[in-house]
């Protein structure tokens, strides 16, 4: 079922052909669909914040969490607000995040490579 949720998250985050929640209401009537919907909203929000951080030139860190296993940590530091946003993503979710327009490039620039 994990692959199903992963594909559903990818489909929900696609800008070219988004999945209509009204037309496919039965898909979101189960726990897996609700989880995919929640994760897609988180990824869209995170992508938007990453692009804003990169535009302002503020720090963005991406690192694997060794003790937790297969988890990627994305840390955004809002210097002006003196706040942080931390997101823990599965490797699959992180790959979906990288597919968002401009995110891969913003992270590459933030790393300085």
Spatial separation of the C-alpha atoms in residues 58 and 110, rounded to whole Å: 8
Reading the block at residue 73, the tokens are: 């940590």
Task: Tally Cβ neighbours within 10 Å of residue 45.
Answer: 12
56 burial via Cβ count (<10 Å: 0-12, 13-18, 19+): exposed
Domain boundaries, the chain: 2-111
Tens digit of each residue's pLDDT (9 = 90 or more) over 25-41: 677 778 888 888 888 88
Tens digit of each residue's pLDDT (9 = 90 or more) over 90-110: 888 899 999 989 999 998 888
Tens digit of each residue's pLDDT (9 = 90 or more) over 60-76: 888 887 666 688 889 99
Q: What is the pTM of this model?
A: 0.81
List the Cα angle 15/105/34 in 5-degree steps.
40
Nearest to 85 by CA among 35, 112, 46, 43: 46
């Amino acid at each position: 079922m994990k692959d199903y949720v992963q594909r559903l998250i990818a489909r929900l985050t696609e800008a070219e052909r988004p999945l209509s929640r009204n037309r496919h209401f039965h898909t979101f009537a189960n726990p897996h669909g609700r989880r995919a919907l929640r994760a897609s909203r988180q990824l869209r929000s995170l992508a938007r914040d990453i692009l804003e951080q990169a535009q302002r030139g503020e720090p963005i860190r991406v690192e694997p969490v060794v003790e937790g296993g297969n988890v990627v940590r994305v840390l955004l530091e809002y210097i002006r607000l003196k706040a942080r946003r931390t997101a823990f993503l599965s490797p699959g979710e992180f790959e979906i995040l990288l597919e968002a327009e401009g995110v891969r490039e913003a992270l590459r620039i933030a790393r300085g490579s």
